[in-house]
Amino acid sequence: MATPPGLYAIRIKGRLGATALSAFPAMVCELEDSETVLTGWIEDRSALFGVLEQIEALGLELIELRQIPARPTSRESDEGRPPRSL
């Protein structure tokens, strides 16, 4: 069935510079040693493959794609809800 909308974490080899990052405006970036993790809300399957295509086009190396399970919304936690502004 269709990729459910949700939070995804995409791990890419190498740290991305400002230019490459600007290709993923809807994602938040975390730089970890020699990898970049892009986290963001992805609407559906088309959106997901759009992101993947962008990664391919920039000659980047995809290491991992992971869906982050939505935690039950609680007062303390903001996770599981789409990021507000990007």
By C-beta, is 17 or 72 nearer to another protein?
17
Our CB check for another protein shows the closer of 56 and 78 to be: 56
Answer for which of 15, 29, 47, 83 binds another protein (CB under 8 A) is 15
For position 30 contacting another protein by CB under 8 A, the verdict is no
From first CA to last CA, the distance across the chain in angstroms is 28
What secondary structure does DSSP assign to 32-45, as a single string? Answer: ETTEEEEEEEE-SH
Give the other-Cβ count within 10 Å of 52's Cβ.
Answer: 13
CA dihedral 47, 50, 54, 60 (to 10 degrees): 80
Nearer to another protein, 25 or 69 (CB): 25
Residues that bind another protein (CB under 8 A): 12-20, 22-23, 33-34, 36, 56-61
